[in-house]
Amino acid sequence: MSALSPLVALTSLNLHRCVKVTDEGVMALAPLSALTRLNLSGCNKVTDKGVTVIALLTALTDLNLDCCPKVTEKGVMALSPLTALTGLDLSSCQVTAKGLKALAALTGLIILNLHNCDKVGKGLKVLAPFTALTSLDLSGCDVTDEGLRSLATLSALTKLNLQSNNDLTNEMVNDLLGPLKALTSLDLANCDGRGDYRGCEGAASLAHWPREPFHKISMGG
């Protein structure tokens, strides 16, 4: 990784599934101040210590930390200086609502992926500052009706993934859809657990919902 340090003109770096990358390796990226895109997905040795170095790369517009399970609330909070970000993937990181709240200054975010971040489902009101979001992935996040209600203010959303959230109810899913008039893609697959939303059975309750343009809806049953 130290060999990358002199490449100060780099604007994009993809290290997907480079499983030998450690925090020490990430530290070698500190001189790369021109980076706008950084993909560390699957680099499962990277921890909060490494993320504090990433936070120095303030030109970043796209950051992918998918499947970096050692990144915790502390690391997420450290990302707050990255106000140029438009895309952020924290899938399968140890994200909490407190960590997301610390990112309130990232108001330019357009894409946010929180797949399998099961500690955020009840604290989604912290997403309120992200009014520019057009794509939000909350699949596998243990989203409840209370959390879902908080999304109603994100009126720019065109793509919403709620797959594998087992506490959703028919009533709340219907109530949410009214304010989200820009939606073109909605994923409710495998939402058939403890709540009363039952995949294709729940889909019947959406039959009255006229919406144009609407390109894709996915529902498990």
**Cα angle value 136/175/159 (rounded, 5°):** 20
Per-chain mean pLDDT for the chain:
90
User: In sequence order, which residues have a C-beta less than 8 Å from that of residue 204 and are 6 or more positions away?
Assistant: none
Q: How high is the pLDDT of residue 206?
A: 52
Q: How high is the pLDDT of residue 199?
A: 47
Q: How high is the pLDDT of residue 25?
A: 97
Q: In what order do the strands lie in the sheet with 185-188?
A: 12-14, 37-39, 62-64, 87-89, 111-113, 135-137, 159-161, 185-188, 216-219
Domain boundaries along the sequence of the chain: 61-219
Q: How high is the pLDDT of residue 126?
A: 96
Q: How high is the pLDDT of residue 89?
A: 98
Q: Which helix (H) or strand (E) holds 38?
A: strand 37-39
The CATH number of 61-219 is which of 3.90.105.10, 3.30.499.10, 3.40.1390.10, 3.80.10.10?
Answer: 3.80.10.10
Distance CA 73, CA 218 (A): 31
Encoded amino acid at 37, one letter: R
Q: How high is the pLDDT of residue 196?
A: 53
Burial class (CB in 10 A: 0-12, 13-18, 19+), 9: exposed
Q: How high is the pLDDT of residue 220?
A: 56
Q: Is the dihedral of CA 48, 49, 50, 53 positive or negative?
A: positive
Q: Which residues of the chain have pLDDT under 70?
A: 193-221
pLDDT tens column, 97-141: 999 999 999 999 999 999 999 999 989 999 999 999 999 999 999
